[in-house]
Amino acid sequence: MRLNMLLGGAALASCAVLGGCMVGPNVRQPKMAMPATWAKSAHPRPSTTAPATAPVAVSKVTNAPAHLARWWENFHDPELTTLVQEAARSNLTLQQATQQIIEAREIRNADAANLGPFVNAAGAYQHSRSSKNIGPGGNFGPSESDLYQAGFDATWELDFFGQIRRGVQAANANYHAAIENQRGVWVTLLSELANDYMTLRGVQRQIAVTNANLKTQRHTATILEQQIGGGLSTSLALANAKAQVDTTESQLPELRIQEKQLIYAISILLGKPPQAMEKQLSVPRPIPPVPPVVPIGLPGQLLLRRPDVRQAEEQYAAATANVGVAEGNLFPHFMINGNVGYAASDAAKLFNTSSLTYAIGPSVSWSILNWGQVQSNINQQKAIRIQAFLNYRQTVLQALDDVNSALAAYTREQLHEKLLFEAVAQNQKAVDYSTQLFENGLTDFLNVLSAQQALYISQDALVQSQSAVSTDLVALYKALGGGWESAPAAAATSKE
């Protein structure tokens, strides 16, 4: 009864204290002024020259609320979606980030356990014999005895000044920072995978364009050979034609190397050997087109969307809490120590009421001779906190720059694509007209050669621009922090 009263009183006193003040600054969300709108970018505008074929559609960027949880589905490419699903299951970097979450969570749980008492169970048996030479004249004979013990020891540090709670806050913030880090890894993985995929389809399209032009140029060289036999052409014209064939064909090995490298890179992102996806991805497919409308939201929403910004905020929270942990060492530490158990020399009587033993009482410790060291540690933690705040601000500024740069690249590349589309149409006309004139003997072959070269260059540039438009949109989605809502391992990353 008396022991229970003592323990109950100590628990009530501790609960009352735990609701009191806490050392160190309180954790608050850092403030950062955000612009009202994104930087102005030049949007594609219609050309004054009407193209011979259908014009290039312009993707419109709006400030409507962005829905980016599964942005890759906006490209309507089933194979890209399949690759994303595979990456979610198999990417090794993502799995490492997930394990870091588990590690941080268990560290937090271990720190939280410091708020409660620690209880150890113990049992012992001892058989002792005294010396017969102890006592006056050494006439006492030896004595033997047995001692049986069993019981519990308890220690409870009372968190009067909140040092332990600040430590739990810091560990909890680090846990949430690990979650944001995993989300950032997922956003980056999505971007790299989609970028490599778009570029791969662009390179395969370049290979197709090169082969088509090579076929036309070889046909022209064959015609020249026939004309030389009839005296209608010259060896110079044939040499120029064959040189053009060789120049065009020389582009293929480099393009094939790029194709292999991109397939290997995608395989590695899926956690597979480099050649694993070669059979599947070597089959050419169109470059995924961009959606007609791309809503991106407003700059202020970036603070809630970007995982790196959210991670920097959690790191600032952890640094703030650690200042309180350091300041807690300026104050005394109060403990309640107690034990309860049984002791007897006869095992049969060990758990009798008369064998009960207990002890309980408070203790205090206070380091008063190392305050200089404690103060230095406090100053160090304050400096770390300022660094974390500056890192947060820098991360926000970098996020704004990423979005504005990606937005400018995306809108301007669409203008580039539109102009190249029109250039291809005009160069195709030039090839058709010069070929017709040459066959009728009304122009020199050099005009045909020049027109064919211009057509190939513009077609190749158009394919690269089409690929760049898609990859620039991927970069914009990444800059907006899109996709982290769909990050895998939700059970391990759910906020608690």
- Most confident of the following: 8-17, 30-39, 146-155, 307-316: 307-316
- What pLDDT was estimated at residue 225? 84
The answer as to whether 139 is a domain residue is no
* Cβ–Cβ under 8 Å, residues 41 and 275: no
Categorize the per-residue pLDDT at 72 as very low, low, confident or very high, splitting at 50, 70 and 90: very high
Per-chain mean pLDDT for the chain: 86
Nearest Cα to 176, choosing from 492, 397, 389?
492
Least confident residue range of 10-14, 64-68, 216-220, 250-254: 10-14
Residue of higher predicted confidence among 286 and 237: 286
- 163-229 and 251-269 helices, crossing angle to 10°: 160
Categorize the per-residue pLDDT at 135 as very low, low, confident or very high, splitting at 50, 70 and 90: low
The answer as to whether 8 is a domain residue is no
- Most confident of the following: 75-79, 122-126, 371-375: 75-79
> Is residue 473's pLDDT more than 50?
yes
What the block records as the tokens of 260 is: 């292999």
According to DSSP, residue 25 is labeled P
Nearest Cα to 77, choosing from 416, 487, 460, 473?
473
> Quick one: average pLDDT of 420-426?
96
State pLDDT tens for residues 84-103.
999 999 999 999 999 999 99
Give the separation between CA 290 and CA 440, rounded to whole angstroms.
44
- What pLDDT was estimated at residue 496? 46
* Residue 321 CA from chain centroid, whole number: 25
Categorize the per-residue pLDDT at 489 as very low, low, confident or very high, splitting at 50, 70 and 90: low
> Is residue 158's pLDDT more than 60?
yes
Residue of higher predicted confidence among 9 and 143: 143
- What pLDDT was estimated at residue 41? 59
> Is residue 453's pLDDT more than 80?
yes
- What pLDDT was estimated at residue 469? 96
* Cβ–Cβ under 8 Å, residues 119 and 154: yes
Residue of higher predicted confidence among 208 and 238: 208
> Is residue 234's pLDDT more than 90?
no
The answer as to whether 168 is a domain residue is yes
- What pLDDT was estimated at residue 310? 95
* Cβ–Cβ under 8 Å, residues 206 and 464: yes
Residue of higher predicted confidence among 138 and 276: 276
Residue of higher predicted confidence among 462 and 443: 462
According to DSSP, residue 441 is labeled T
Least confident residue range of 54-58, 281-285, 290-294, 393-397: 54-58
Residue with tokens 């050392």: 23
The amino acid that residue 162 corresponds to is: G
Residue with tokens 């002791």: 343
What the block records as the tokens of 118 is: 């620690």
The answer as to whether 412 is a domain residue is yes
- What pLDDT was estimated at residue 354? 83
> Quick one: average pLDDT of 450-460?
95
State pLDDT tens for residues 326-375.
999 989 888 888 888 888 887 887 788 888 888 888 888 888 778 889 99
Reported for 262-267, long-range contacts at CB under 8 A and 24+ positions apart, including other chains, are 262/196, 262/199, 262/200, 262/203, 263/200, 265/192, 265/196, 266/83, 266/193, 266/196, 266/197, 266/200
> Is residue 6's pLDDT more than 80?
no
Query: Which pTM value belongs to this model?
Result: 0.84
Domain residue limits at 176: 21-115+160-332+371-493
The answer as to whether 473 is a domain residue is yes
- What pLDDT was estimated at residue 11? 40
* Domain CATH number, residue 301: 1.20.1600.10
Say how many domains are in the chain.
Answer: 1
The amino acid that residue 251 corresponds to is: Q
The answer as to whether 261 is a domain residue is yes
According to DSSP, residue 51 is labeled P
- What pLDDT was estimated at residue 187? 96
Give the separation between CA 354 and CA 240, rounded to whole angstroms.
115
> Is residue 118's pLDDT more than 90?
no
Give the separation between CA 364 and CA 425, rounded to whole angstroms.
88
Q: Is 263 strand, coil or helix?
A: helix
What the block records as the tokens of 400 is: 């704004």
The answer as to whether 337 is a domain residue is no
List, in order, residues 6 or more apart from 176 with CB less than 8 Å away. 314, 317, 495
> Is residue 20's pLDDT more than 80?
no
* DSSP state letters, 382-438: HHHHHHHHHHHHHHHHHHHHHHHHHHHHHHHHHHHHHHHHHHHHHHHHHHHHHHHHH
The answer as to whether 245 is a domain residue is yes
> Is residue 271's pLDDT more than 80?
yes
Pairing of the two strands 60-62 and 293-295? parallel
State pLDDT tens for residues 356-368.
888 888 888 888 7
Q: Burial of 483 by CB count in 10 Å (0-12 exposed, 13-18 middle, 19+ buried)?
A: buried
Share of the chain above pLDDT 70, in %: 88
Give the separation between CA 107 and CA 174, rounded to whole angstroms.
9
* Angle at alpha carbon of residue 206, lines to 201 and 210, rounded to 5°: 150
